[in-house]
């Protein structure tokens, strides 16, 4: 694994995103550099989705790098809802599993994994 895996960036800037007021009127900031000492704690899947949606509605995303952001967000919402159910409150039934599997297949087949890897490479510190 890379030397920076699961490590916080030493505080030297603002790594917060405040969700857009159109999505959540009284939102709290989402910390993308959260952690304890050197250990990084990733934001939750819902927090990441909300931050992405906020950047989208504020026209702060490189739209040319993600094809059809509305479809991508639809897939993200399906995955978030089913993942949260399975992880927090209930077992996944067969039909829910099939929806999750199909959604992952769609994400892959529509090229979103490749697009996300490209975005990661662009924003990765040099």
97 SS3 class: helix
What CA dihedral angle connects 111, 47, 85 and 98, to 10 degrees? Answer: -10
Q: How high is the pLDDT of residue 70?
A: 92
pTM here? Answer: 0.81
Distance, CA of 95 to CA of 20 (rounded, Å): 34
pLDDT at residue 2 greater than cutoff 70: no
pLDDT of residue 14: 77
Alpha-carbon dihedral 120, 45, 77, 2, rounded to 10 degrees: 30
d(CA 6, CA 3): 9
CA-CA distance, 76 to 48, in Å (whole number)? 10
Q: What is the mean pLDDT of residues 104-111?
A: 96
**What are 57-107's pLDDT values in tens digits?**
999 887 666 888 999 999 999 999 999 888 887 888 999 999 999 999 999
The 8-class DSSP code of residue 39 comes to: E
Torsion of CA 74, 57, 42, 96, to 10 degrees: -10
Task: Please report the pLDDT score of residue 82 as a whole number.
Answer: 93
What share of the chain in percent tops pLDDT 90?
A: 51
List the structure tokens of 35.
Answer: 């952690």
Mean pLDDT of the chain: 87
pLDDT band of 54, cuts 50, 70, 90: very high
Q: In the prediction, which pLDDT does 99 show? A: 96
Looking at residue 18, the DSSP 8-state letter turns out to be P
Whole-number pLDDT of residue 38: 83
Average pLDDT over residues 20-37: 90
Question: Which pLDDT does position 1 carry in this prediction?
Answer: 52
DSSP-based three-state secondary structure for 31: strand
């Amino acid at each position: 694994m890379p030397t920076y895996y699961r490590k916080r960036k030493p505080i030297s800037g603002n790594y917060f995103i405040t969700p857009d007021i159109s999505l959540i009127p009284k939102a709290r900031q989402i910390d993308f550099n959260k952690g304890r000492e050197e250990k990084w704690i990733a934001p939750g899947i819902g927090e990441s989705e909300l931050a992405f949606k906020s950047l989208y509605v504020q026209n702060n995303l490189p739209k040319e790098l993600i094809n059809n952001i509305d479809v991508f967000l639809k897939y993200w919402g399906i995955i978030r809802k089913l993942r949260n159910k399975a992880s927090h409150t209930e077992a996944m039934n067969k039909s829910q599993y099939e929806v999750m599997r199909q959604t992952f297949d769609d994400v892959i087949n529509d090229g979103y994994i490749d697009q996300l890897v490209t975005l990661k490479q662009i924003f990765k510190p040099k």
